[in-house]
């Protein structure tokens, strides 16, 4: 399925005030796209809209994606401002750290409302428009769509559900021959403020387990899908290894529970625990402050985005190696 080049697209991005969403908005604008920015933090969105070109290039909508009427307002604004949209990216998401048994029902429900229902609301409203116009729907899941993470249990639950919903919607659109590509992006640990904005029940500041990748790597994958409609993209080779390991040895992965819990705790005591779960807080930053080094990029992910180029390079190297290995040594000249 062919899509417009980015410079001709209007792209809707939820969760645009922080982390992956913010990185994607900036990268999309740099590549010439017009952007519709949605999040709960109106002050951050207003500044970002001006930064990305102001009226005519960027428009912002204060919205809680857990409320369907707010999501409908995002779509209506995109149509009123730009005549429609070509790509819709559901990025908005939060997490809660702590044992499942200690987390309140209110916090459980709020997380599911944002992570799952926010994606469902955005997808169904976007597809209603894209069925007529054609384009791309991109949902940001996680390697937690395939893995369980103790002390982030409801986050993993929501991302498993996002995968099931996304796969089902894709199949239904294929069955009706709708001109809409559906992509699920599955990042590994990404250097964003997600842990700092999380609801935290632990006695230590939360973090993400290594290896940790830059948010621009996810933004690049999202924008690749906006043009090429790839089905699934895992961002971070380390994440791919974890998923493969769990598939081949699920029992052995379960035994890593204590280690995974330990890797999600920093040495510093927790400063606050409310986070941005129920109200916007500490938005406006792309990156966080992880205690581990951040990878410069993901060679694995970049290879999956351009598989034919990668296969061609590998084949060329293999042919060269075969030629060199098969070449007979030339006889030595006698002096």
> Which residues are the active-site residues?
155
Tell me the torsion sign for CA atoms 203, 208, 209, 210: negative
What's phi and psi for 204, nearest 5 deg? -120, 155
Closest CA to 63 of 84, 36, 82, 86: 36
Residue 142: closest CA among 110, 119, 113, 108: 119
Q: How many CB atoms lie within 10 A of CB 4?
A: 16
SS3 138: strand
Looking at residue 270, the DSSP 8-state letter turns out to be: P
Q: Is 213 exposed, middle or buried (CB count within 10 Å of its CB: 0-12, 13-18, 19+)? A: buried
Nearest of 75, 242, 71, 233 to residue 141 by alpha carbon = 233
Q: Where are the beta strands (DSSP E) in 215-286?
A: 232-235, 265-269
């Amino acid at each position: 399925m062919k899509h417009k080049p980015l410079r001709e697209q209007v792209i809707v991005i939820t969760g645009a005030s922080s982390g992956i969403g913010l990185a994607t908005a900036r990268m999309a604008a740099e590549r010439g796209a017009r952007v519709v920015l949605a999040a709960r933090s109106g002050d951050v969105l207003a500044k970002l809209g001006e930064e990305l070109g102001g009226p005519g290039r960027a428009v912002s909508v204060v919205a809680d994606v857990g409320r369907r009427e707010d999501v409908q307002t995002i779509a209506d604004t995109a149509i009123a401002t730009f005549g429609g949209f070509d790509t819709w990216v559901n990025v908005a998401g939060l997490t809660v750290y702590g044992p499942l048994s200690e987390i309140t029902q209110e916090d459980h429900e709020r997380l599911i409302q944002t992570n799952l229902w926010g994606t469902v609301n955005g997808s169904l409203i976007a597809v209603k428009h894209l069925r007529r116009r054609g384009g791309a729907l991109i949902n940001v899941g996680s390697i937690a769509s395939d893995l369980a993470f103790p002390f982030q249990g409801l986050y993993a639950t929501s991302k498993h559900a996002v995968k099931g919903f996304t796969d089902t919607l894709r199949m239904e659109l294929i069955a009706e021959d709708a001109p809409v590509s559906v992509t699920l992006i599955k990042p590994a640990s990404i250097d964003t403020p997600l842990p700092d904005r999380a609801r935290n029940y632990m006695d230590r500041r939360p973090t993400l387990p290594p290896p940790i990748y830059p948010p621009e790597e996810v933004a690049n994958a999202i924008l690749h899908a906006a043009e090429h409609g790839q089905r699934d993209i895992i961002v971070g080779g380390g994440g791919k290894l974890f998923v493969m390991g769990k598939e081949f040895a699920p029992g052995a992965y379960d035994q890593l529970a204590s280690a995974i819990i330990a890797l999600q705790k920093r040495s510093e005591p927790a400063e606050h625990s409310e986070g941005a779960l129920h109200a916007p807080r500490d938005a406006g930053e792309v990156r966080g402050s992880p205690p581990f080094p951040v990878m410069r990029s993901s060679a694995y992910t970049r290879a999956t985005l351009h598989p034919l180029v990668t296969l061609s390079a590998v084949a060329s190297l293999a042919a060269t190696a075969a030629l060199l290995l098969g070449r007979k040594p030339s006889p030595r000249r006698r002096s």
